[in-house]
Structure 1
Amino acid sequence: MSTETETTTETNTESPVGEGAGGCIDDDELITAWGLLHEALTTLGPLLLRGIDPCGHDMSGPWFEVLLRLQRSPQHRLPMSRLAREVSLSSGGFTKLADRLERNGYLARQSCPSDRRVTYAVLTPEGLELAEQARRRHVELLRLHVLQPLGKGALRDLADHARTLRDHARERTT
């Protein structure tokens, strides 16, 4: 595949991207595709957290992500530094979030016996119950707002593409 490009208008050009799976694509088409993906995620985010706490209130994205990741982890615990990285928060931002979760009785901090530098975030029984209830409601909302409009095949394709993008970005940021 050649990386030569042709200008079609002043703002509507094709830029070389090399021999990757994308080949050459019109700049406006690329910007529009990324913009649509970003807009969809930004619009869907709040819908997927609507009313997911047991009182029927919305839950913040980072709060839910922490609960969900801990709920799905062995022994319902993860190193706090890893958890902060996985939910894309600074260490200070994550500490504040962990403090709130701990104050509400949903999270406990646990020292690692073999490495004093590591502190685990661990779900309490109350945190596990909250995570399970929120997860059930979240799955209902995912089925309604993601699976229903896309269908199973497109959802699986989307997950594959998202994994590819995530892995590509991680390779370049570590």
Structure 2
Amino acid sequence: MSNETGPDPHTDDDEIITWWGLVIEGYHVTQERLTAEINEHFGLAPASFDILLRLVRSPEHRMPMTKLAREAALSSGGFTKVADRLATADLIRREPCETDRRVTYAVLTDHGLDIAERAREVCAEILRKRVLAPLGKADSAALAQAMRTLRAANSAD
């Protein structure tokens, strides 16, 4: 998907703005469908689902809370509210680090692990229907690679 010769100086301003707008619009409508279906199946808000998904894919189903908040792109206060709701629903528990008093882990409970694993399976099925079916495997992989490239090119140094 990359242009080996660099940016095309002849790409029209409106054309490149339209391309980017289509990326954003395609992402938003697909993400809205995904989160609506996850909410319908499990009653999980997008931020809660994101946190459960990150934890189920982490070693020992745990992660330092500060790292989890940063990866989920939530403010400290916003993350605390989501974590409180997940803890109240018995989906996660807070666990102090044995070697560093400053670190607290978010850890999936058994119930949380069950919900997270089932939600991950449903998410994969939704993505197969909403992304893989319309794009095909090659274009889906190319899209992922293009987004990986943009993330690397535009991440803070």
- TM-score, reference length from structure 2: 0.89
Equivalent runs, 1:3-152 vs 2, <5 Å: 21-24=6-9, 25-52=11-38, 56-57=41-42, 59-152=44-137
Q: Distance in 1 between matches of 2:92 and 2:5?
A: 44
Aligned residues: 153
Q: Residues 51 and 58 of structure 1 are in contact (CA less than 8 Å); yes or no, is this contact kept in structure 2?
A: no
One-letter amino acid of the structure 1 residue matched with residue 70 of structure 2: R
Q: Quick one: structure 1 residues 20 and 108, their matched pair in 2 at CA, closer, same or farther if it must change by over 3 Å?
A: farther
Q: Distance in 2 between matches of 1:83 and 1:23?
A: 39
CA offsets per residue over residues 125-149 of structure 1, 9 Å max, x none? 0000010111111111101010000
Q: Distance in 2 between matches of 1:105 and 1:57?
A: 14
Q: Residues 90 and 112 of structure 2 are in contact (CA less than 8 Å); yes or no, is this contact kept in structure 1?
A: yes
Q: Distance in 1 between matches of 2:77 and 2:45?
A: 17
Q: Distance in 1 between matches of 2:132 and 2:77?
A: 35
Over alpha carbons, which structure has the higher Rg?
1
Q: Residues 70 and 78 of structure 1 are in contact (CA less than 8 Å); yes or no, is this contact kept in structure 2?
A: yes
Q: Distance in 2 between matches of 1:20 and 1:96?
A: 48
SS of 1:89 mapped into structure 2: coil
Q: Residues 95 and 105 of structure 2 are in contact (CA less than 8 Å); yes or no, is this contact kept in structure 1?
A: yes
- TM-score, reference length from structure 1: 0.81
Q: Distance in 2 between matches of 1:58 and 1:27?
A: 42
Q: Residues 106 and 128 of structure 1 are in contact (CA less than 8 Å); yes or no, is this contact kept in structure 2?
A: yes
Q: Quick one: structure 1 residues 31 and 143, their matched pair in 2 at CA, closer, same or farther if it must change by over 3 Å?
A: same
Q: Distance in 2 between matches of 1:139 and 1:130?
A: 14
**Gap runs ≥5 in structure 2:** none
Q: CA deviation at 1:20?
A: 7.6
The structure showing larger relative contact order (alpha-carbon pairs under 8 Å, at least 6 residues apart) is: 2
The structure carrying a bigger helix percent of its residues is: 2
Give % identity: 48
